[in-house]
Amino acid sequence: MKKLALTIALIGAACAAYAQDAQSIAAEAAKALSEAAPEQAAAPVKPSYWTTSAVCDLGFNQTGLWSWAAGGYNTLTLNAGLDLQANYAKDLKAWTNRLQLNYGFLWSADKSNLLQKSTDRIYLESKLAYRTSATSKWNYTASFDFRSQFTDSYDTYVQEDPENPKSPWTGTLRSGFFSPAYTNIALGIEWKPTAWFNVNVAPVSGGIIFVANENLRPNYGMKRIDQEGAYKPALFQFGAQVKINAKAMLNDKFTYDTQLVLFTDYLDNPFVHNRVNWDNKFTWQATKFFKVDLNTWLIYDPIVKIDGVVSKVQFKEFFAVNFTYTIKNKK
């Protein structure tokens, strides 16, 4: 029995020594294989040439009066805005797109059954640019613009039955959707010395003014079809355009954005009858989600008749405290 136990112990010791040697050999072999195997290269990051952003604004103002000796009316205003941008840049090519939508209305206690529009705007810009060289500040450009509004605009409201507070109101129609609508295609060259300033000169610029409402066509320069008083629904213009864009940031809170567009029609008193559009926007980002906006728009169009009589400088100002939220802003 002692010999048998000794024999078993010797066999076990030999097996353990053999197993330990086998483990060492396997570990050394695995290490040799890992060192010999080539390192796997990391997958290349796919470049992105698009920069997109979407900013939503919502503004609300309310005035309430109770036994107010100076008089006045309870009012409520609500306005919304959407600013969408999608820009592409690769090598010498660039494509910028921006859509601005604004709409707002006013309710006043003196016209309790009437909602009056306070702001209404559709503005689309799209521009293709090709830089003349890698270090140049000049671009060849082709651009498209569209301006109009969503709904009809009225003023000079009159109540059908002044003795009845619920009596409907009627106003004088001033404009509407596609009444007018401005489209423009321009070919030219752009000087862009910095990212925040550029001047685009387009000696070849053509567009169409649409006025869908027959009653408004005389006010927007539409030509007569015949002597009986009918007017064409559209007017073609061909001329030259200069567009200046600038955006200044005083700090992280205050910004100023402006655009000046000058257009002259080769077909109608060129360089005498010039159209001017000047947009300005002052912004104070008070907090992450609240900002104060002051917007102004100045228009002079020699073919547009105010009250059907004479051309005048048009000016509009809109001030609002808005809740603002950036849906996305990525590259």
Would you say 88 and 49 are in contact if contact means Cβ atoms under 8 Å apart? Answer: yes
Chain position carrying tokens 């320069």: 221
269-309 pLDDT, tens digit each: 999 889 999 999 999 999 989 999 999 999 999 999 887 77
The span from the CA of 191 to the CA of 198, in Å, is 6
- Whether the pLDDT of residue 10 is over 60: the answer is no
Q: Peptide bond before 180: cis, by omega within 30 degrees of 0?
A: yes
**Taking all residues of the chain, what is their mean pLDDT, rounded to a whole number?**
86
Question: How do beta strands 153-159 and 234-249 pair?
Answer: unpaired
User: Per-residue pLDDT averaged across 241-250, rounded?
Assistant: 94
The span from the CA of 262 to the CA of 98, in Å, is 19
21: confidence class by pLDDT, cuts 50, 70, 90: low
156: confidence class by pLDDT, cuts 50, 70, 90: confident
183: confidence class by pLDDT, cuts 50, 70, 90: very high
pTM over 0.85: no
7: confidence class by pLDDT, cuts 50, 70, 90: very low
Would you say 267 and 235 are in contact if contact means Cβ atoms under 8 Å apart? Answer: no
Task: Give φ, ψ of 8 to 5 degrees.
Answer: -65, -40
The span from the CA of 243 to the CA of 187, in Å, is 12
Measuring CA to CA, which residue among 55, 59, 82 is closest to residue 292?
Answer: 59
- Whether the pLDDT of residue 78 is over 60: the answer is yes
Query: What pLDDT was estimated at residue 1?
Result: 45
